[in-house]
């Protein structure tokens, strides 16, 4: 009898130890939640991108629809799929609210978002000016023909510049900024912080962010390394504000001004319509070549400069928020 009791106790202890290995505080451990959410995101992104891509078959004149249109529809589906996956994981794995990932409204939400937009645009302007004054780009303005001289045609890979094409590009980059920040700086960074602390979580999420771009067109080691550093940059923007509004605004304007405004490839993709059409002729070490400035030293300089500016913004906003609460709340 005593032997049977001992066996039952040992079995219960073993079950408890196994449960403790995978669970904590009644939930799966953070690392397991991250792994499952990544798998769910991949599946959801694939299903949604396939559905949106196949939707092209239902459109009139589908035989003449450009490849870039199909790609853009699939891209929209992918973004929505990732967002849905994070919502499901947050509710059923974390058992927490999605808004608590850093989407809480507050007095600093709008200023953070606007500052992010301005900073991203400013950093891309800096990259463009460096390329211009160093003679590394040839500029064509597709919207007009100066002095009646025909301007060179834009690259064949680029979509024609129309208001609709530009609006579609903006929509895509809004979705990219939201889904990547919600997944990486929201879900992954914060769960890994719970498990391993802030510094290790920032590094791990940045490495994962860089790895996510390995399959991009024209991907290179330099490009992936710079994207990894930009992951640290965006993570700094999150921790500077404990909010996703700054990194979302920053991510959005970084991509939109890099591609549809200044005409550079965005993380290897160069099919976007652009207000300024350019041909890059400078050294690949600096310009990043076909991957774009994110694989060059100019991109690296912008990332490091932006990180310093974000840290300065964090110091300033502490006093500003205190003042706003004193006078308006």
Do residues 68 and 56 touch, judged by C-beta distance below 8 A? no
Q: For position 66, what pLDDT does the model report?
A: 64
Q: Which of 136, 142, 168 is nearest to 154 (CA)?
A: 142
Per-residue pLDDT in tens (0 to 9) along the chain, 329 residues: 555 555 555 445 555 445 566 677 778 899 999 999 999 999 999 999 888 877 777 766 665 566 677 777 888 899 999 999 999 999 999 999 999 999 999 888 999 999 999 999 999 999 999 999 999 998 875 544 443 334 444 444 556 677 888 888 999 999 999 999 999 999 999 999 999 999 999 999 999 999 999 988 888 999 999 999 999 999 999 999 999 999 999 999 999 999 999 999 999 888 788 899 899 999 999 999 999 999 999 999 999 999 999 999 988 887 766 655 555 44
SS3 199: helix
Alpha helix locations (H) across the chain?
A: 2-22, 30-54, 67-89, 109-133, 163-180, 189-196, 198-211, 221-241, 245-256, 284-287, 297-328
The answer for residues whose C-beta is within 8 angstroms of residue 319's C-beta and 6 or more apart is: none
Rounded to whole angstroms, how far apart are CA atoms 321 and 37? 34
How far apart, in Å, are the Cα atoms of 119 and each of 126, 144, 179, 187? 10, 29, 20, 24
Rounded to whole angstroms, how far apart are CA atoms 133 and 174? 30
Measured in degrees and rounded to the nearest 5, phi and psi for residue 118 equal -65, -40
Residue 57 has which token pair? Answer: 């078959």
**pTM for the whole structure:** 0.85
Rounded to whole angstroms, how far apart are CA atoms 294 and 223? 6
Q: For position 72, what pLDDT does the model report?
A: 79
H or E element: which one contains 23?
strand 23-24
Give Cα 110 to chain centroid, integer Å: 19
Q: Which of 178, 192, 227, 182 is nearest to 206 (CA)?
A: 227
SS3 170: helix
Residue 216 has which token pair? Answer: 């991009």
Do residues 239 and 260 touch, judged by C-beta distance below 8 A? no
Give the start-to-end residue ranges of the domains of the chain: 23-96, 104-328
Q: For position 158, what pLDDT does the model report?
A: 59
Q: Which of 288, 265, 275, 280 is nearest to 132 (CA)?
A: 280
- For residue range 217-269, list pLDDT tens digits in order: 888 999 999 999 999 999 999 999 999 999 999 999 999 999 999 999 999 88
Q: Which of 262, 256, 254, 260 is nearest to 229 (CA)?
A: 254
Give Cα 98 to chain centroid, integer Å: 18
């Amino acid at each position: 009898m005593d032997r049977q009791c001992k066996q039952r106790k040992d079995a219960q202890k073993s079950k408890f130890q196994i449960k403790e290995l995978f669970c904590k505080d009644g939930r799966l451990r953070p690392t397991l939640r991250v792994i499952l959410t990544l798998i769910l995101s991949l599946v959801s992104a694939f299903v949604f991108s396939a559905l949106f891509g196949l939707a092209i078959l239902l459109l009139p004149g589908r035989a003449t629809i450009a490849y870039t249109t199909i790609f853009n529809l699939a891209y929209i589906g992918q973004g929505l799929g990732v967002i849905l996956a994070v919502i499901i994981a947050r509710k059923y794995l974390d058992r927490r609210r999605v808004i608590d990932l850093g989407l809480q409204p507050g007095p600093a939400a709008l200023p953070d978002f606007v500052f992010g937009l301005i900073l991203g645009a400013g950093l891309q302007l800096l990259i463009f000016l460096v390329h211009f004054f160093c003679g590394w780009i040839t500029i064509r303005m597709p919207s007009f023909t100066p002095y009646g001289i025909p301007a060179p045609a834009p690259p064949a890979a680029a979509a024609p510049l129309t208001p609709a094409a530009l609006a579609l590009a903006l929509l895509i980059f809004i979705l990219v900024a939201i889904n990547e920040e919600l997944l990486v700086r929201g879900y992954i960074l914060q769960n890994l912080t719970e498990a391993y602390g802030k510094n290790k979580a920032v590094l791990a999420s940045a490495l994962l962010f860089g790895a996510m771009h390995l399959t991009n067109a024209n991907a290179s080691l330099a490009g992936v390394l710079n994207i990894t550093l930009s992951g640290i940059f965006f993570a700094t923007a999150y921790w500077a504000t404990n909010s996703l509004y700054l990194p979302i605004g920053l991510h959005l304007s970084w991509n939109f001004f890099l591609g549809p405004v200044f005409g550079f490839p965005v993380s290897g993709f160069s099919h976007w319509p652009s207000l300024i059409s350019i041909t890059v002729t400078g050294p690949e070490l600096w310009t990043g070549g076909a991957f774009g400035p994110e694989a060059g030293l100019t991109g690296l300089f912008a990332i490091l400069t932006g990180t310093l500016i974000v840290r300065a913004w964090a110091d300033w906003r502490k006093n500003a928020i205190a003042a706003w609460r004193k006078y308006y709340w």
